[in-house]
Structure 1
Amino acid sequence: MSRTRRKYNQYCGLASALDIIGERWTLLIVRELLLGPARYRDLLESLPGIGTNLLAERLKFLTENGVVRRAEGANERGYELTAHGELLREPVLQIAHWGLSHLGAPEPQHEVRPHWGFLAVQSMLDQSRVGEFDECYEFRVDGSDFHIRVEGGRATTHEGRCESPAMLAVTDARTFVEIGSGNLSPIMAVVSGRLSLEGDQQCVQRVMELLGLVDGEVARGQVRESV
């Protein structure tokens, strides 16, 4: 039995958007689908605590409102964002970036998934800090591989590994999110053995600046001492 949805009843674009995506779990479902089509059971596994009935209800509502559709061309059909749903990418990434600054220290009950690190990198990229070098930076986070490619004055993110990365970072998902939130500096993560970095000092500096982890002058001093 479907429940009656409460609406804001305000003639406003923001209120209209929140009528669709403002309920608990909805944007987290969108987050998962921003990484590509996903099967129902994969969504359930990546959203611990949602419950199967609630996930089904949310997917049904998002489908009815043109945000999500059934994915085609797979052995087992999953779900994917529509073109209309894909328009949520930049707003969701900006909200995720904003939220990083509000993350405190992780607690034992906090769940973390390595693919969330991929979205974190997307949200942290500062295109105004792209350098003049065409190069690739690779990240391996709990078996999930992704990379940043800088080419032609623009940085883009991609799943998988890249050939001959100028920098390679290997860590676990919890450490990765702690670094992104500013609760753990990359240098302290290296010193404590939680992060492995391969690459010359200047390259590591460029990556940290590109992701807004440290200011350039600070990066130069820290990288020289610790990497």
Structure 2
Amino acid sequence: MAAREYGQYCGVTRALELIGERWALLLVRDLLVGPRRYGELAAGLPRIPTNVLAARLKELQAAGIVRRAPRSRVIVYELTPYGRELEPVVLALGAWGFKAMGDPRAEQVVTPDSMTMALRTAFRPDAAALLPATAYAARIGPAALLVRVDGAALTVGRGDGPADLAFTAGPGIRQVISGEVTPGHAIDTGVVEVLHGRPDLLDRFAATFHLAA
């Protein structure tokens, strides 16, 4: 377990002792997307020192949150069932933090896993269930994602593929998700560039993925 102890007998205290060390919850965030090799975890958190990455993984394993598993002759890290119970906590924290994000700083990056979890956080299954199935090829910064919405089901994967709407955007896509700018205005001002497909489908995207700022 993590070295820090707070000396209180409390569930919140215990949770912080297990996942409250720096970088721990971001490792959980990325592993909620899927199993990752050590190098993939390091690449997804460019600023994490290698000694800290190794220490956090050991602590999360000792706590029963993460485990090592063989996959196609390589070792990957994955969440245990106990670790996966953190998903609603991570999604709720993402929604809460979204309100205070503001504009991105120059040194801040978007990663495929962070954007995947952002979309999962913003997903509105109640609204999506009323809309036709739609596939989006979204390139947001360096993150290329294929986003499929079919009723109340959402799947997000890396890479390109057949899509009803393909678009590229920077971190300003936050303004579309928050409703600060309309999809039409986002296209007109270059916040979003439609690569192919019907531009009006960005309205459907905004209805499907929404978080109030």
Q: Where on the TM-score scale, by shorter chain, does this alignment land: which range? A: 0.7 to 0.9
Q: Which of 41, 44, 48 is residue 42 of structure 2 equivalent to?
A: 44
- Check 1:58–1:124 CA distance in 2 against 1; reply closer, same or farther (3 A cut): same
Q: Does residue 210 of structure 1 match 2:205? A: no
- Residue pair 2:147, 2:155 contacting (<8 A) in 1 also: yes
In the alignment, the residues of structure 2 paired with residue 38 and residue 4 of structure 1 have an alpha-carbon distance, to the nearest angstrom, of: 21
- Deviation of the 1:34 alpha carbon: 1.1
- Provide the TM-score with structure 1 as the length reference: 0.79
- Deviation of the 1:181 alpha carbon: 5.5
Gap runs ≥5 in structure 1: 215-227
- Check 1:73–1:4 CA distance in 2 against 1; reply closer, same or farther (3 A cut): closer
Secondary structure, in 3 states, of the residue corresponding to 2:71?
coil
Output the amino acid matched with 1:146: L
Q: Does residue 20 of structure 1 match 2:24? A: no
The CA RMSD over aligned residues, in Å, is 2.6
In the alignment, the residues of structure 1 paired with residue 176 and residue 156 of structure 2 have an alpha-carbon distance, to the nearest angstrom, of: 20
Greater Rg over alpha carbons, structure: 1
Larger mean CA deviation between 4-13 and 54-63 belongs to: 4-13
Output the amino acid matched with 1:47: L
2:153 aligned partner: 155
Percent of aligned positions with the same letter in both sequences?
Answer: 32
**Structure with more strand by fraction:** 2
- Check 1:133–1:192 CA distance in 2 against 1; reply closer, same or farther (3 A cut): closer
Output the amino acid matched with 1:122: R
For residues 112-149 of structure 1, give each alpha carbon's deviation from its aligned partner in whole angstroms, at most 9, with x where no partner exists.
Answer: 22332221110001223234344123132145222132
2:126 aligned partner: 128
- Deviation of the 1:177 alpha carbon: 4.4
- Check 1:200–1:50 CA distance in 2 against 1; reply closer, same or farther (3 A cut): closer
- Residue pair 1:129, 1:210 contacting (<8 A) in 2 also: yes
- Check 1:138–1:4 CA distance in 2 against 1; reply closer, same or farther (3 A cut): closer
- Residue pair 1:63, 1:69 contacting (<8 A) in 2 also: yes
1:223 aligned partner: none
